[in-house]
């Protein structure tokens, strides 16, 4: 089973469900993570305000924060790879990501670009 790491934006507590205005997504996501654990997955959740060392210790997360700032949070990391960013996935999406289905890579949605040679597939000129 997968290790699913969640890197949250800074919040007052680990679930983010305290305070005068609760984002309804947060309790749902907390419940989905608990459910994911019952399916045998290891879940580790870190809050930037409460566990900054976890962010600093993860090179992939550090790089994302350096490039995009806190707007990339929450980050979902499975197997050392960022599989979701800037949004809390649904239970179905979370299950698929934990099981390696539908994993989002950094270049998965990238379109071919014109290279120096003018070819549609980079510099090789062949498609």
pLDDT of residue 21: 79
Q: What is the CA radius of gyration of the chain?
A: 17
pLDDT of residue 102: 62
pLDDT of residue 12: 81
DSSP assignment, residue 104? Answer: P
- CA 41, 47, 48, 50 dihedral sign is negative
pLDDT in tens, 100-114: 986 444 433 333 334
* 60 φ/ψ angles, rounded to the nearest 5 degrees: -65, -45
Q: What percent of the chain has pLDDT over 90?
A: 66
pLDDT of residue 14: 63
pTM: 0.77
Task: Give bridge partners of residue 58 from the DSSP assignment.
Answer: none
pLDDT in tens, 34-88: 999 999 999 999 999 999 999 999 999 999 999 999 999 999 999 999 999 999 9
pLDDT of residue 70: 97
């Amino acid at each position: 089973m997968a290790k699913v790491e969640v890197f949250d934006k800074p919040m007052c507590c680990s679930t983010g469900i305290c305070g005068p205005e609760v984002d309804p997504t947060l309790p749902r996501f907390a419940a989905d993570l608990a459910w994911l654990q019952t399916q045998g997955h290891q879940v580790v959740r870190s809050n930037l305000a409460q566990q900054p060392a976890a962010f600093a210790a993860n090179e992939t997360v550090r790089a994302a924060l350096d490039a995009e700032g806190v707007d990339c949070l929450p980050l979902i990391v499975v197997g050392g790879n960022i599989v979701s960013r800037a949004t809390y996935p649904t239970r179905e999406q979370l299950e698929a990501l934990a099981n390696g289905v539908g994993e989002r890579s950094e270049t998965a949605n990238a379109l071919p670009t014109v290279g120096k040679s003018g070819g549609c597939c980079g510099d090789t000129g062949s498609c």
